[in-house]
Amino acid sequence: MIEFDKVNKWYGDYHALVDVSETIARGEVVVVCGPSGSGKSTLIRTINRLEPIKSGRITVDGKDIHARGIDLNEFRSHIGFVFQQFNLFPHLTVIGNCTLAPIQLRGLSRAEATERAMALLDRVGLANKADAFPSELSGGQQQRVAIARALAMQPPLSGDARDGLRPRRGRSRALHGRRPRAGARHARRLLQPPPTPARAAVSCRHPHALRARGLIR
């Protein structure tokens, strides 16, 4: 369970998150809606302490994740996170990006990690790009590699700060139609900003809106 309790975040004089309180149950898929600058990505980034908070409390399974003394490396190893800028390792191939963490942090053999990664790449339609480098991929393909890489760790919690997979053409529609469910099978909790309000409605039961930096259900 993830709990936000009166969470506040400032950037200088700008109050980015205002008294955000919410509870997210195990297995729940949550979509955070809102205009640019409303705090969607900031909110998600606070969950793995990529963004510190000024006041309030965030707990994951009862543990205060912004408390002093928490082992951040250990905690973050259980979170799958897809960044807005993808952050793929440019010197590694697609398969190298997807197998690095499972081998180094989960102790999987190279064969086990490769089998898991190839299954996920197949789900996002990029199995044929396993040996390509990020520079050889389109932006949309890099996004899908980032999704596969995050899920390759089979994290209990997955956070998704993207907003660029727009449902414009056939492949995008197919991916949007299945990715939240596919991700939810690997991650017990999934948070993501949606590409459109309409897509949010079919991605989860309870979309959440951020307006004026406060959470509106």
Q: Distance between CA atoms of 180 and 178, rounded to whole angstroms?
A: 6
CB burial readout 175-203, b (16+ within 10 A) else e:
bbeebbebbbebbbbbbbbbbeeebbeeb
CATH code for 1-78+156-217?
3.40.50.300
Give the Cα separation of 183 and 146 in Å (integer): 12
Other C-beta atoms closer than 10 Å to the C-beta of 45 total 19
| Parts of the chain belonging to CATH 3.40.50.300 | 1-78+156-217
**Tens digits of residue pLDDT in 180-196:** 344 444 444 455 454 44
Are 150 and 82 spatial neighbours (Cβ–Cβ below 8 Å)? yes
What pLDDT was estimated at residue 181? 42
The predicted model gives 157-164 an average pLDDT of 56
User: What are φ and ψ of residue 11, in 5° steps?
Assistant: -115, 95
pLDDT at 73: 85
